[in-house]
Amino acid sequence: MTTNLKISLGIGAVVALILALIVAAVVMFGDGRAQTPATDSTARTAPAQFLVREDSHRLSTAADGKVTLVEFLDFECEGCGAVFPHMERIRAEYAGRINLVVRYFPMPGHRNADLAARVAEAAARQGEFEVMYTRLFETQTQWGEASESKEAFFLDLAERAGLDMAAFKRDLDAPATAERVRKDQGDGLALGVQGTPTVFFNGSPLDVEPSYDNLKAKIDAVLRS
Amino acid sequence: MTTAPASIVTRSLPYVLVTGGGLGLLAAFLLTVERLRLAADAGYLPTCNLNPIISCGSVMKTEQASLFGFPNPLIGLAAFAVLVTVGAALLAGARFHAWFWYGLQAGVVAGAVFVHWLIFQSLYRIGALCPYCMLVWVATVVVCWYVTLANAEAGRLPRSGVLLRLARYHTVVLVLWTVAVGGLILQRFWSYWIM
């Protein structure tokens, strides 16, 4: 065997060993969330306690509760931005007739996703979740996909929305706000959410794209029955 | 022309060109087909996934995927086909003038530079990995490395002392490159895989 081959195989073996150790460490010492419920994302009904919490943000509430839509979203995800207008049409058309709940699920690959979720949550502390939810999506192209912090942009957004800025800044940096976002994310992971937007229709993951037409067809079918 | 027995690197070059070029060609072809499908399905709603290894579709919609105003894989279709042809010609006993080798050298270096730019974009700007694209990265770098070493051994490159010494450890360099890029990928997407 040549020296070249020996060294190559040697490095390969060392790297394989290191990778094996890392995998073993993650399996043994990881918090095991990856193995928790509902990883088979078939049309099983999601455990209700993970889907909607007392403090979850509702964009619409129905008295009868026949239809409940829960969307796990990332304000920076362009897919969520694309679904946003569809959701807004559904919200306008079925206001008060369906439950529409949104949950935070910021993606680790999006630089400002977690911050945006905290911005929405800080606005929610002043009762202005809906305003911020709408504005974050409407302005997504102006701040999304950035590689630097967009905090200044968000502060400006909050100011224009007429929020109490002192309280907003305090809430934005409060550990409780970050914790609230992480709790939503944790529920999503427990439900087997792998990406955004993930929409649950009456407890089951939506089996079609969350477009206006698809959602309308499903909602009408249930409301008519 | 050298009369000394050709080194393992020079002897391997035709096979590297045929297989590397062939795999690159296959990847470029699959990427082109997928790009055409994507164009046909304009109403498609993208999604963001925790898993960074995603279908090439979402990577293809980025600006970087059409750097020169048309989809990058079209370059691959032409360039990798040339590599396969050159490899086959060498296997058939062809001999090329020096200017041909310089042309090949310029081409593979340009390819390697482009590929490293794409690696950077994929990791740090787009934040997603596309399997076919990664096949193109590997094929391009391997071919560039062997063409460069073969040119150095044939005395066609100036000041090639370092290269000649590295030629003795030709696969070590490739293994180190793979480990480095793999390490960057792991580091960049660590949180996705651990969550």
Instruction: Give residue-wise pLDDT tens across range B105-126.
Output: 999 999 999 999 999 988 887 7
pLDDT band at A76 (very low <50, low <70, confident <90, very high): very high
Across all residues in chain A, what is the average pLDDT?
A: 89
Residue owning tokens 């020996």: A6
Provide ipTM, 2 decimals.
0.72
Mind telling me how many Å the CA of B19 is from chain A's nearest CA?
20
Do residue B45 and residue A82 have CB atoms under 8 angstroms apart? yes
For chain B, what is the domain count?
A: 1
Whether B53 is in a domain gets the answer yes
Whether B3 is in a domain gets the answer no
Whether B2 is in a domain gets the answer no
Side-chain-side CA neighbours of A139 within 13 Å: the count stands at: 18
d(CA B145, CA A50) in angstroms, rounded, equals 53
Whether B147 is in a domain gets the answer yes
Whether B55 is in a domain gets the answer yes
Strand spans (E) along chain A: 57-60, 68-73, 99-104, 195-196, 198-201, 204-205
Whether B95 is in a domain gets the answer yes
Pick from A6-20, A57-71, B29-43, B140-154: least confident? B29-43
pLDDT band at A37 (very low <50, low <70, confident <90, very high): very low
Mind telling me how many Å the CA of B22 is from chain A's nearest CA?
24
Whether B131 is in a domain gets the answer yes
Do residue A7 and residue B170 have CB atoms under 8 angstroms apart? no
> Could you tell me the two tokens for A200?
């649950």
**CATH assignment at residue B174:** 1.20.1440.130
Residue A41, pLDDT > 50, answer: no
Side-chain-side CA neighbours of B99 within 13 Å: the count stands at: 0
Residue A34, pLDDT > 50, answer: no
Q: Quick one: closest CA in B to A209, which residue?
A: B45
Whether B1 is in a domain gets the answer no
Query: Using omega within 30 degrees of 0 as the cis cutoff, is the peptide bond preceding A210 cis?
Result: no
Q: Which range marks the domain in which residue B124 is found?
A: 8-194
- Residue A45 has what pLDDT? 63
Asked whether the beta carbons of B77 and B32 are under 8 A apart, the reply is: yes
Residue A33, pLDDT > 70, answer: no
The residues of chain B scoring below 50 in pLDDT are 1-2
By the 10 Å C-beta count (0-12 exposed, 13-18 middle, 19+ buried), A215 is classed as: buried
> Could you tell me the two tokens for A138?
């409407």
Do residue B125 and residue A34 have CB atoms under 8 angstroms apart? no
- Residue B49 has its nearest CB partner, among A7, A189, A195, at A195
**B101 vs A25, higher pLDDT:** B101
Interface test with B, best of A8, A23, A31, A189 (most B CBs within 10 A): A8
* CA dihedral over A140, A142, A145, A148, signed as positive or negative: negative
Residue A187, pLDDT > 70, answer: yes
> Could you tell me the two tokens for B185?
């990928």
Across all residues in chain B, what is the average pLDDT?
A: 88
